[in-house]
Amino acid sequence: MPETTDKLTAEKRKISKAEINELPLIAWEGEIKILESFEEMEAAAAVLANESHLGFDTETRPSFKKGDYYPPALIQLATERCVYLFRISKTETFDPLLPILESPDILKTGVAIKDDVKELRAMEDFTPSGFVEIADITVKLGYENRGLRALAGLLLQGRISKAAQVSNWARPELDDKQVRYAATDAWISREIYRQAVAERDRVTKA
């Protein structure tokens, strides 16, 4: 067994759905900005270009018929103080965000991040850089679960609501549940990474 895992055996490394459901609900309660036009996207991108770490996620309208495909409808980027929701189903482009998505100097952290990036690249070709898969870090720390909800339970001791997960993200107006859900996922993607790296650093120094 790896040395890092040996040092962590006293801590919880796995969590069940039942255990997650017993945890207190956590959600992003800070500022949320919804960007629905190209001009709004440009202005927000100029602000985000100054950040060094962003929580990253996307949302896509679900398909219920075999063969149906929908492109991502929303890109979420979270800073320490604000979560930005880019409604790319309305702008039909995310070109202003490309310098951020291609920057090696701006960390973008998330879970199952390769799938999200692949879907975005199918919409608009770009060279992704600075993306980090959180599960690659947590697996080395001995955590068995790889999903966002489970890792939130293990590392943040909280439960994320999934009530709005299977909903139409391309609808004309997002409802409050969708907005809160999308913002929380991006925020959690930032916070879990920070917790995982802090734990990794503690183990390294021990």
What digits encode the pLDDT tens for the residues 110-126?
A: 999 999 999 999 999 99
Q: Given a cut of 70, is residue 63 above it in pLDDT?
A: yes
What was the pLDDT predicted at 5?
41
Query: Mean pLDDT, the chain, as a whole number?
Result: 92
Q: Range with the lowest mean pLDDT among 2-16, 68-82, 103-117, 122-136?
A: 2-16
Own/partner pairs, 12-19, CB within 8 angstroms, 24+ separation: 12/154, 13/142, 13/143, 13/144, 13/154, 14/143, 14/144, 14/145, 14/154, 15/145, 15/150, 15/153, 15/154, 19/153
pLDDT tens-place string over residues 15-55: 999 999 999 999 999 999 999 999 999 999 999 999 999 99
Q: Do 100 and 77 form a contact (C-beta atoms < 8 A)? A: yes
DSSP class of 29: -
pTM, to two decimals: 0.91
Structural element, H or E, at residue 147? none
Q: How long is the chain? A: 206
Q: Which residues pair with residue 78 across a beta bridge?
A: 55, 83
pLDDT at 12: 81
Question: What's the one-letter identity of residue 168?
Answer: N
Q: Return the pLDDT at 11.
A: 67
- Judge residue 4's burial from the number of C-beta atoms within 10 Å of its C-beta, 0-12 exposed, 13-18 middle, 19 or more buried: middle
DSSP-derived 3-state class of residue 82: strand
Residues 136-188 pLDDT 10s: 999 999 999 999 999 999 999 999 998 777 789 999 999 999 999 999 999 99
Average pLDDT over residues 72-91: 98
Bridge-based pairing state of the strands 72-78 and 82-86: antiparallel
CB atoms within 10 A of CB 34: 17
The ranges assigned to domains in the chain are 3-205
Cα(125)–Cα(141) distance, rounded to whole angstroms? 34
Q: What pLDDT is recorded for position 135?
A: 96
Measure Cα distances from 140 to 1, 91, 135, 146, 199 in Å.
11, 39, 8, 11, 11
Domain at 3-205: CATH code: 3.30.420.10
Instruction: State the amino acid at position 27 in one-letter form.
Output: A
